[in-house]
Amino acid sequence: MARKKIIAGNWKMNKTPSEAVELCKELIPLVKNDDVDVVFCVPAIDIIPVIDAVKGTNIQVGAEDMSFEDKGAFTGQISAAMLVDAGVKYVILGHSERREYNHETSEEINKKVLKAFENGLTPIMCCGETLAQREQGITLDWIRQQVKVGFQNVTADQAKQAVIAYEPIWAIGTGKTATTEQAEEVCKGIRECIAEIYDDATAAAIRIQYGGSVNGGNAAELFAQADIDGGLVGGASLKADFGKIVNY
Ligand code: 13P
């Protein structure tokens, strides 16, 4: 069965609640496309107003992170149960910005992935190499490590539902997109890694996105690759350009 493309915006730390509602109004008519899954991953404080604003549309709402703990004395954190109760379906986990600025490790990200599944959320687990790692020729080794640790104790049935976002760090917010060949090579490598951990059926089902300076001009070529099942979009998800990406 063909995999349905999934195109997700990662708003990062942008848009106040009222600005978020305005942006939804602007984007709703532009991102209509029932052939792909459209997800807005928004800051925690925007989740409730955005869910309200996109009610009745084809848009699903995602969070940008969550705790691996269930509840309790974890000031400032948000639990999976809170996200589910609000109506969230997806959660970005292990974005390179959180790995860098919040020192998140692949082991912690694995705990979050497991917690997301336990609560019925679909994780969008991010991986990606630095420019130095690419230049050293260790990109695939590094990505395989991130995927293997991130998916520890995840069952094949869960993995089939998961989304992995390959985001080369040097391509994020730089306007420097990976070439189509570079993006496809790594996404294919991730699928092979999933086949090694699980089996061919799981590898065929899991969805793998590319992220890093995706825009209306390069989306079609990237998404046409055999192993690229959509995109995780930063800057361009905050603009009308996101409509072009969704309707690539
Ligand atoms: P840009 O699309 O702004 O490069 O960001 C990519 C990203 O980090 C999405 O998670």
CA-nearest of 151, 153, 152, 146 to 168 is 146
Dump pLDDT digits (tens) for 34-88: 999 999 999 999 999 999 999 999 999 999 999 999 999 999 999 999 999 999 9
Give distance in angstroms: CA of 124 to centre of ligand 1. 13
3-state secondary structure of 197: helix
Give distance in angstroms: CA of 199 to centre of ligand 1. 30
Global confidence as pTM: 0.98
Residue 1 has pLDDT above 80, yes or no: no
Please list the active-site residues: 95, 167
User: How far is the C-alpha of 16 from the C-alpha of 9, rounded, in Å?
Assistant: 16
> Hey, what are 56's tokens?
């009745």
